[in-house]
Amino acid sequence: MTPYDLDHMGNNPTADMRHFEPDWDGYFHSSVLSSLPSSNRRGSRVIEVPARATVFARGERAETVFYVLSGEIRLVQRSRSGSEMVVQRTRLGFLAEATLFQYSYDCDAIATRTSRVLSIGRSEFCDSLTFESFRNCWIAYLAQRLRWERARAERLSLNTAAERIVHYVETVGNAGVLHLNQSKKDWAVDLGLTHEALYRALAQMQQQGQLSVDGPRIMLSKRRRR
């Protein structure tokens, strides 16, 4: 099944997705997209995904590479007991890169808000890797993703909410200052915390002079900076 079959899926929540022609000139923010050979761009589409709709489901054939342009898509895995675990949250970037050379998707991709994703045929994407310039951009992107995931794993291994907050500001922010580009409720998910635990930790850290919060701006005190 491909995204272009969605209109024929009856009760599938993605049946009302709309498709648009990609604006390749507007994708300069991504070295991978901008370097995709024009010969392999044919058939690509921008898909508008309603909130709570499913982009793809676990077990479906992985015939498409997705890039999130706006909104947010979460990759969710479900345990045998039915509990959910978010394994990736993407607001700008590729989705489920690891499935590029897999037969099927191993998780569900669900939009948490109205989103737009660029779909590229997997065969066209893989063929593009024979071009050195594109291949080098893809390798650089994966290396960056690996650094992000290592930092995330390190952060989630920390025991306290305060330690995770400090780690996030130091690794994602600049010189001990973070300009939060998401809600604090969404940030709590990134930190592996409940939003109540995050609010309590922030309040306590402010009282202790460890950091200051000014709207979306979070600044560590100088004594907490490395």
Number of neighbouring beta carbons within 10 Å of residue 94: 23
Structure tokens at 204: 């306590």
What average pLDDT score do residues 103-118 get?
93
Over 60: is that where the pLDDT of 226 sits?
no
Q: Summarize pLDDT for 18-63 with one digit per residue, the tens.
A: 888 999 999 988 999 999 999 999 889 999 999 999 999 999 999 9
pLDDT at 148: 87
pLDDT at 4: 33
Residue 218: left if φ>0, alpha if ψ -120 to 50, beta else—which one?
A: beta
Please answer whether residues 25 and 38 qualify as being in contact, where contact means their C-beta atoms are separated by less than 8 angstroms.
no
Q: List, in order, residues 6 or more apart from 31 with CB less than 8 Å away.
A: 137, 140, 141
Q: How far apart are CA 126 and CA 190, in angstroms?
A: 31
C-alpha angle 74-79-83 in degrees, rounded to nearest 5: 70
The H-assigned helical ranges of the chain are 31-34, 122-128, 132-156, 161-172, 184-191, 195-207
**What is the DSSP-derived secondary structure letter of residue 23?**
-
Residue 215: left if φ>0, alpha if ψ -120 to 50, beta else—which one?
A: left
pLDDT at 166: 94
Q: Find the length of the chain.
A: 226
pLDDT at 16: 62
Over 50: is that where the pLDDT of 7 sits?
no
Backbone angles phi, psi at 27, to 5 degrees: -100, 30
Tell me the C-alpha to C-alpha distance, in Å, between residue 82 and each of 43, 98, 110.
36, 23, 16
Please answer whether residues 87 and 75 qualify as being in contact, where contact means their C-beta atoms are separated by less than 8 angstroms.
yes
Over 80: is that where the pLDDT of 204 sits?
yes
What is 78-99 written as a DSSP string? Answer: E-TTS-EEEEEEESSEEE-GGG
Nearest residue to 16 (alpha-carbon basis) of 64, 43, 52: 52
